[in-house]
Structure 1
Amino acid sequence: MIHAISGDSDFIKEINNSLFTGFVHSTFNRTLNIKCFENGDLFTIACRKLDNGPNTLIVNVDNMKSTKIEVNDRVRVVKNLLFIGDKLTIAIDQVNEWEGVLPSYPSNEEILKRNVKKMKEYINLHGVGGGMKKKIITENPFEAEVSNMLEKRTYFLMNELLANRISSALPHAVSLVGLGQGLTPSGDDFLTGLFTILNMKNSSFYPYKKLICEDVLKQAKTLTNEISYMTLKKAAIGKVRESLIALLNSLLIEDDEDLILSLNKLLNIGSSSGTDIAFGIVFGMEATIRAGGKVC
């Protein structure tokens, strides 16, 4: 038996109520995903080196390979213990509950404007190329074409948002879903960052968040994989990883060291996922600032 260190409060509540059953959907070195029978959502068991996130339980192990858990292993809860087949039992009696809350958009944008500029410059220098950030030298014509498509579609999306043509912006947002390589395609990661900004209370696009996010989600399920879709589904209601929330908080204060530390943690997610999410955050912030910032 191993102990959970921390976890999403909603996930812990379901375990405490013994309402959780499912099966192992996918396994990786540092995480495994469980598909819940009750609602069809994916839930993640992650090793201790990862940050908190929606539907996620952080457990006291270095990696998941040693557990020898396989896809389709059954998952059940008995007396506040989470059983994965007969291979792993997770106790939550010592768990710290986590609930991610996004900061509100600031009434004074001056610090935010300076930090967004610094963030953009930093990811242009240190971000991973191949997705939203173009590689100087592409490996093949397909990679170059995907990069061009990402650039063009985000350009058109920005134009429509700034013109307040929300209905015209939606097809451009949808066109990003599933675009790019990897477990979570670059277009999806970008939208995760953008959705995060749309869910900041008091921002100029906050009144449109439900319209934009829900419309994209309706079409996204058939355009991308289940893992990436689940990330988008949670981001659409402002539920994102702890590292994203930490970065947003860093953007609102005048502390360069904290900003770079938070940004590096985000950039280290996946191969290029962190960079693609960061570009989505910058895009959302720039669009909000240019559109007038705070709602009166």
Structure 2
Amino acid sequence: MTNKSNQKAAYACNAISGDLEFLRLLGKGSFQGIIHSSFERTFNVTCLENGELYTIAARHLDNGPNTLITDLDSCSTLELAVGDRIFVSNNCIKIENKFNISIRQTEPWQCLLPVYPADTALLKRNIFEAKLFIQEHGQAGGMKKSITTDNIIQTEFARMLEERSRSLLEQLSLARWESAVQQAVSLIGLGPGLTPSGDDYLTGLFTVFNMPDSPLWPYRSFCMDVVLHASKLTNQISCITMKKAAAGQVREKIVQFMQAVIHSTSEETKDRLAAVLSIGSSSGTDIALGLIHGLELHLN
């Protein structure tokens, strides 16, 4: 007979907030998945129904698409393993017998990008200040070229990223959509990092395409045309990030910066930009440059 007092109880926590669509999916009670990957502050789950990745995050991260924010301080102590099975029962996410997450009082979050302004004077000023801020505080090594490096591979990545992104922007400015798709696809998977720099740059660019009432809004199908190629060229985590951005779904920090650059003071814009730059190693800088270059396309 098994001694129940010796059985290890499942660790429990609460979900604080979560992506609205993710919560609706969980609310059906039929969600099933497996652990895809685990990190210090997050772990990712593959949904067995639709194949998409979903993220469970510690309290210090911001909201995002397909993401649930918990009251955990860290995910590294949970002893999760790739392939662990996940299901939902009684408003609770259960991971094997290791870990339970209550979703009973989770606050829903929805990504809503700001509407492009009719008067762009403030936007122009804030973009100018944002570019200077990135030059001073952005992380080099991806889209931002490192001035002092002896790393041949890093130098070559920087050259390719600069050439291909410049060509992409040129084709977009001329409305040569077929060629622009080809140039964008050439950026996928290019550069260092778990989410390569080219992918992060496109995430920022796709965000700007999805601003309602913007000059590029009628052409946002361009983003999905590019993403169709992503699964064969980059990893699954980066792929789902670009796919969501192509549909106008991005992290809360990015939304807050977009709102600030349109409506707020220079100082508020810099504060929100600093939060974007804090994403990953060079990922935040790569995303920010995609946002800025996209906004400049609007203005031009």
One fold, TM greater than 0.5?
yes
Alignment partner, residue 2 of structure 1 = 13
Tell me, yes or no, if structure 1 residue 234 matches structure 2 residue 229.
no
The structure 2 residue matched to 1:248, chosen from 258, 265, 275, is 258
List aligned pairs for 1:14-25, cutoff 5 A. 14-25=25-36
Inter-partner Cα distance in structure 2 for 1:269 and 1:8: 19
**How big is each residue's C-alpha offset from its partner over 1:37-78, in whole Å with a ceiling of 9 and x where there is no partner?**
000000000000000000000000111011111111100011
Q: Matched residue of 1:136: which SS? A: coil
The structure 1 residue matched to 2:41, chosen from 17, 27, 30, is 30
Tell me, yes or no, if structure 1 residue 74 matches structure 2 residue 74.
no
Inter-partner Cα distance in structure 2 for 1:30 and 1:139: 32
**How big is each residue's C-alpha offset from its partner over 1:214-237, in whole Å with a ceiling of 9 and x where there is no partner?**
211111110000000000010000
Q: Matched residue of 2:88: which SS? A: strand
> Do the aligned residues in 2 keep the contact of 1:17 with 1:80 (CA within 8 Å)?
no
**Deviation of the 1:257 alpha carbon:** 2.4
**Deviation of the 1:113 alpha carbon:** 0.6
Tell me, yes or no, if structure 1 residue 224 matches structure 2 residue 252.
no
Aligned residue pairs, count: 289
Inter-partner Cα distance in structure 1 for 2:30 and 2:207: 29
Tell me, yes or no, if structure 1 residue 278 matches structure 2 residue 295.
no
**Deviation of the 1:111 alpha carbon:** 0.4
> Do the aligned residues in 2 keep the contact of 1:11 with 1:55 (CA within 8 Å)?
yes
Q: Which structure 1 residue ranges, 4+ long, deviate > 2 Å from structure 2?
A: none
Larger Cα Rg: Structure 1 or Structure 2? 2
Structure 2 regions of 5+ residues with no counterpart? 1-11
The structure 2 residue matched to 1:83, chosen from 70, 75, 94, is 94
Inter-partner Cα distance in structure 1 for 2:30 and 2:286: 35
Structure 1 regions of 5+ residues with no counterpart? 291-296
Tell me, yes or no, if structure 1 residue 183 matches structure 2 residue 198.
no
Alignment partner, residue 179 of structure 2 = 168
RMSD: 0.8
Alignment partner, residue 293 of structure 1 = none
Inter-partner Cα distance in structure 2 for 1:224 and 1:76: 28
Alignment partner, residue 41 of structure 1 = 52
Inter-partner Cα distance in structure 2 for 1:257 and 1:62: 30
Q: Matched residue of 1:67: which SS? A: coil
